[in-house]
């Protein structure tokens, strides 16, 4: 497709500009001459190429030299079939072929080229040079100049030379059964020189010639020519239109595809943006949820910490309350213990006091008894100074002891007893005391006094 498209521009530009020219005037068509010896297969290939080119959409005009115009037909008759007449001189022959060519170009070829047709002509100027120069021996430059004059400078764009051995071509012609014309009847050397002139002209200007081995089968020859033409011919108007239509369709398809791709990309971008936005929203929602979770955790932690502090405060208060209660209980127990101790001590003291009082009372009673006995005995004995004195000292001693006991037993009332003095405040002296008793009693009292002092 690319090569065909490039050929569209080539058709519109340089290649067609280089096409048929005549006296500096450009012609839009293509001028192709098919050359070769007799029976090379020119007619056969022109028919095949015409069909092929028309199939591709070209406007194809097939023509020939000599004989394409009314004048040409008469000249052909003179040139090829004038056996019975006077032979035509070589220069006259050249001029007649040139005359035919001039009429042919003016009336057939140029009009066709001007309208853009491809003109396929069976023989043209190369035949004149090949036959009238190569064959007849006229100057090639003179023939070329004569032909240029006849065509007004028009030259074929392309020359297809069907090169074949003249003997082979002769056999083909014989096979058709046609009687050979005046030129066909020329000897083999003539035809060899003709062939050589064709080949030398093609070799001198290879870009304008397609030389095909016409000894190959006709179909093979046609294929070779088509391949070569394919490379140099412009596209037909129809092919150009088709190519332009294809190019337009391709361009529109590409534009549609591009629009579709852009729409798809835009949709993908939009989808990607939506996806990105959705992900951002999800991330934001996750972030907020995480913040809420952390805030709830923080609050829960603070609640737990507050509850823990409250619990600790309660425990501390409870501990303090218990400690205070324990302290109070301890104090109470301590107070109770102290009181108990005091009570026990007091009880013991009271007991001891009672014992001591009892003992004191006993001792007092004993002393009183002893004193009384002593007094009674002193009084009873009454008479001895020593006993009286002893009684007196004993009484004094007893008084001292009583004083001491009184101090000890001050808190206790002195019970009535044998130690209590009588109503007169004196212990009764036992007047009846026996003197015998005085000594032991005094001795006991003194002994007790001595113990108490110690
Ligand atoms: N002449 C000249 O002297 N100076 C000029 O300036 C000009 C012309 C313009 C015109 O003769 C004569 O004028 C010519 C040159 C001279 N004379 N000579 N000699 P013409 O136009 O009437 O005839 P031609 O051109 O010489 O011969 P032709 O019969 O037309 O041959 P052809 O067109 O080249 O061949 P064909 O008709 O296609 O085929 C011939 C037979 O061969 C036929 O049966 C085919 O079926 C067969 N054939 C074709 N190709 C093949 C292949 N490849 N293999 C086998 N068989 C094939």
Distance 218 CA to ligand 1 centre (A): 14
| Ligand 1 and 172: CB distance under 6 A | yes
| Ligand 1 and 130: CB distance under 6 A | no
pLDDT of the residue at 81: 77
pLDDT of the residue at 84: 62
| Ligand 1 and 128: CB distance under 6 A | yes
Distance 245 CA to ligand 1 centre (A): 41
| Ligand 1 and 221: CB distance under 6 A | yes
Cα separation of 122 and 109, whole Å? 12
Helices (H), 133-236: 140-151, 166-176, 188-204, 218-232
| Ligand 1 and 65: CB distance under 6 A | yes
How much of the chain exceeds pLDDT 90, in percent?
A: 43
| Ligand 1 and 164: CB distance under 6 A | no
Q: Using pLDDT thresholds of 50, 70 and 90, give the confidence band for residue 82.
A: low
**Highest mean pLDDT: which range of 23-27, 178-182, 207-211, 345-349:** 207-211
Encode pLDDT of 286-298 as tens digits: 999 999 999 999 9
Distance 191 CA to ligand 1 centre (A): 12
Distance 403 CA to ligand 1 centre (A): 198
pLDDT of the residue at 62: 98
Phi and psi at 425, nearest 5°, equal 80, 5
CATH number for the region 2-235 comes to: 3.40.50.300
Encode pLDDT of 423-434 as tens digits: 444 444 444 444
Encode pLDDT of 139-185 as tens digits: 999 999 999 999 999 999 999 999 999 999 888 878 877 777 777 88
Q: For ligand 1, atom 41, name the residue with the nearest CA.
A: 172
pLDDT of the residue at 332: 80
> Is residue 66 reached through a cis peptide bond, with omega within 30 degrees of 0 on the bond before it?
yes
**Highest mean pLDDT: which range of 247-251, 284-288, 356-360, 412-416:** 284-288
For helices 237-381 and 435-453, what crossing angle results, to 10°?
Answer: 150
**Highest mean pLDDT: which range of 149-158, 268-277, 387-396:** 149-158
Distance 181 CA to ligand 1 centre (A): 11
| Ligand 1 and 109: CB distance under 6 A | no
What's the rounded mean pLDDT across residues 435-439?
A: 44
**More confidently predicted of 38 and 367:** 38
Best CA proximity match to 122, nearest among 135, 111, 112, 109: 109
CB 126 within 8 A of CB 163: no
Residue 195: pLDDT over 70: yes
Residue 190: pLDDT over 90: yes
| Ligand 1 and 217: CB distance under 6 A | yes
Residue 127: pLDDT over 80: yes
Which sign does the torsion angle of CA 209, 43, 74, 181 carry? Answer: positive
Q: For ligand 1, atom 57, name the residue with the nearest CA.
A: 41
Q: For ligand 1, atom 50, name the residue with the nearest CA.
A: 41
**Least confident among 96-105, 183-192, 284-293, 414-423:** 414-423
pLDDT of the residue at 110: 97
pLDDT of the residue at 21: 55
Distance 264 CA to ligand 1 centre (A): 65
What's the rounded mean pLDDT across residues 63-72?
A: 97
**Highest mean pLDDT: which range of 84-98, 177-191, 278-292:** 278-292
| Ligand 1 and 45: CB distance under 6 A | no
Residue 216: pLDDT over 90: yes
From the CB of residue 260, how many other CB atoms can be counted at a distance below 10 Å?
A: 11
Q: Using pLDDT thresholds of 50, 70 and 90, give the confidence band for residue 410.
A: low
CB 229 within 8 A of CB 49: yes
CB 154 within 8 A of CB 21: yes
pLDDT of the residue at 366: 75
Residue 58: pLDDT over 90: yes
Q: Which residue out of 38, 122, 224 has the highest number of ligand 1 atoms within 8 Å of its CB and is therefore the one to mutate? A: 38
CB 406 within 8 A of CB 342: no
Distance 173 CA to ligand 1 centre (A): 8
pLDDT of the residue at 87: 79
User: What's the chain's average pLDDT?
Assistant: 82
Phi and psi at 119, nearest 5°, equal -100, 120
For the CA of 178, the nearest atom of ligand 1? 29
**More confidently predicted of 42 and 324:** 42
Q: Using pLDDT thresholds of 50, 70 and 90, give the confidence band for residue 372.
A: confident
For the CA of 123, the nearest atom of ligand 1? 9
| Ligand 1 and 131: CB distance under 6 A | yes
Cα separation of 312 and 317, whole Å? 8
Distance 74 CA to ligand 1 centre (A): 19
Q: For ligand 1, atom 44, name the residue with the nearest CA.
A: 176
| Ligand 1 and 66: CB distance under 6 A | yes
Residues in the chain: 454
Distance 80 CA to ligand 1 centre (A): 13
pTM: 0.61
For the CA of 124, the nearest atom of ligand 1? 9
Residue 406: pLDDT over 80: no
Q: For ligand 1, atom 48, name the residue with the nearest CA.
A: 41
Q: Where are the domains of the chain?
A: 2-235
pLDDT of the residue at 330: 80
CB 229 within 8 A of CB 167: no
């Amino acid at each position: 497709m690319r090569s065909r498209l490039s050929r569209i521009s080539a058709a519109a530009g340089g290649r067609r500009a280089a096409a048929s020219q005549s006296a500096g005037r450009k012609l839009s068509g293509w001028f192709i001459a098919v050359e070769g010896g007799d029976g090379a297969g020119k007619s056969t290939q022109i028919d095949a190429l015409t069909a092929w080119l028309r199939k591709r959409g070209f406007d194809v005009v097939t023509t020939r030299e000599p004989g394409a115009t009314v004048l040409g037909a008469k000249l052909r008759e003179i040139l090829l079939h004038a056996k019975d007449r006077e032979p035509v001189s070589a220069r006259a022959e050249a001029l007649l072929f040139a005359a035919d060519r001039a009429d042919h170009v003016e009336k057939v070829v140029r009009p066709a080229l001007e309208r853009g047709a491809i003109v396929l002509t069976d023989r043209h100027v190369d035949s004149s040079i090949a036959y009238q120069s190569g064959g007849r021996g006229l100057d090639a430059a003179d023939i070329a100049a004569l032909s240029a004059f006849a065509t007004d400078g028009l030259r074929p764009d392309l020359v297809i030379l069907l090169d074949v051995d003249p003997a082979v071509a002769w056999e083909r012609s014989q096979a058709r059964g046609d009687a050979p014309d005046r030129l066909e009847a020329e000897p083999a050397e003539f035809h060899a020189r003709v062939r050589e002139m064709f080949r030398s002209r093609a070799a001198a200007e290879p870009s304008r010639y397609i030389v095909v081995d016409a000894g190959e089968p006709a179909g093979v020859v046609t294929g070779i020519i088509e391949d070569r033409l394919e490379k140099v011919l412009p596209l037909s108007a129809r092919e150009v239109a088709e190519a332009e239509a294809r190019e337009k369709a391709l361009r529109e398809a590409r534009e549609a595809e591009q629009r579709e791709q852009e729409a798809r990309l835009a949709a993908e971008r939009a989808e990607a943006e939506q996806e990105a936005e959705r992900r951002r929203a999800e991330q934001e929602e996750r972030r907020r949820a995480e913040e809420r979770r952390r805030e709830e955790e923080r609050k829960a932690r603070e609640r737990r910490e507050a509850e823990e502090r409250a619990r600790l405060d309660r425990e501390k208060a409870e501990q303090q309350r218990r400690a205070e209660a324990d302290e109070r209980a301890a104090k109470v127990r301590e107070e109770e213990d102290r009181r108990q101790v005091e009570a026990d001590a007091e009880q013991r003291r009271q007991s001891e006091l009672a014992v001591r009082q009892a003992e004191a009372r006993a001792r007092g009673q004993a002393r009183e008894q002893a004193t009384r006995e002593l007094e009674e005995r002193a009084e009873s004995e009454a008479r001895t100074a020593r006993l009286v004195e002893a009684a007196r000292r004993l009484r004094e001693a007893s008084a001292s002891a009583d004083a001491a006991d009184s101090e000890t037993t001050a808190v206790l009332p002195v019970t009535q007893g044998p130690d209590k003095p009588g109503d007169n405040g004196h212990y009764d002296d036992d007047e009846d005391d026996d003197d015998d008793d005085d000594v032991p009693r005094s001795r006991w009292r003194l002994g007790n006094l001595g113990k108490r002092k110690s």
